[in-house]
Amino acid sequence: MKRNPKEIACALAALALLAGAAGCSFGSDVAEGIGPYAELSSEGGASSEAVPSSSSEETPSSSSPASFAVAVDCGPGGTCSPASGRTVAAGEDLKVTVSAGARRFVDSVSLDGALLYASEPGDRLPSYQIALKNVGEDHAVSARFGREAVWMDCSAGGTCIPGDTTPPVGGDLALKFQADSGYKIQTVVFAGDTIFDADTTASVYGQYNFALGNYQPPRTFDFTAEFVAY
């Protein structure tokens, strides 16, 4: 059956409409990505390595540590609380207390290698406290204790002047051992050696003087004096 050109054109147009409704295409490259992670490639395909689009939810990062370690290094001559450190839950607070022992003082305190406190002559602390707030990382506390360069121990019946102290570097220091009324000096011992002994003299001594010169740290000097009634 012979068709005129107009009828043929109408038939072709109808077929084209039906193909479009069915999702068909002819003669062109079309690539469709599925989902928010799709990215068109140069070949018209979908890539699985694409960065998520802004409409997608971000991938959760690895979880933060639930706790942190606070290490405490406490030198001889004092105590620290907690003594050797503690594990602290993230976000919690912790106080570290540094306490010097008898005749000692806090010489230095450091946190994570940074010096927080250092003693000086005339500035001696018996204790020091560090307050760690909202802990979010590991920490290391270090504490050291010191003693005065000169220790003077006196028995009952007398006085040691000036008592425990540290001379300035290169300086001199005059020491005095003074007996109370009705007492006399029996012995004065320095570094284990007797430097005065009443048994070697018939006189009654109520006072004994000793001088230290050109003090150089870290030398220490220990004196002990005994007084007796007469």
Q: In the chain, where are the structural domains located?
A: 67-146, 150-229
Neighbours of 3 (CB within 10 A): 10
User: 153 is written with which tokens?
Assistant: 């121990």
CB atoms closer than 10 angstroms to residue 122: 7
Collect all residues with Cβ–Cβ distance below 8 Å to 13 and sequence separation of at least 6.
none
Close Cβ partners of 79 (under 8 Å, ≥ 6 residues apart) = 98, 99, 101
Name the residue with tokens 């011992």: 189
Helix (H, G, I), strand (E, B), or coil: what is residue 74? strand
Question: Among the listed ranges 9-18, 79-88, 104-113, which one has the minimum average pLDDT value?
Answer: 9-18
- pLDDT tens across 195-211, in order? 999 998 888 999 999 99
| Eight-state DSSP code of residue 120 | B
Nearest to 175 by CA among 156, 192, 188: 188
pTM for this predicted structure: 0.66
Classify 198 as helix, strand or coil: helix
Residue 174 has pLDDT above 60, yes or no: yes
Greater pLDDT, 5 or 86: 86
Please answer whether residues 168 and 215 qualify as being in contact, where contact means their C-beta atoms are separated by less than 8 angstroms: yes
At 23 the pLDDT is 47
Q: Name the pLDDT band for 14 (thresholds 50, 70, 90).
A: low
Question: What is the number of alpha carbons within 13 Å of residue 74 lying toward its C-beta?
Answer: 20
3-state secondary structure of 44: coil
Topology of the domain covering 150-229: Immunoglobulin-like (2.60.40)
Q: How far is CA 35 from CA 47, 49, 58, 140, in A?
A: 11, 13, 14, 49
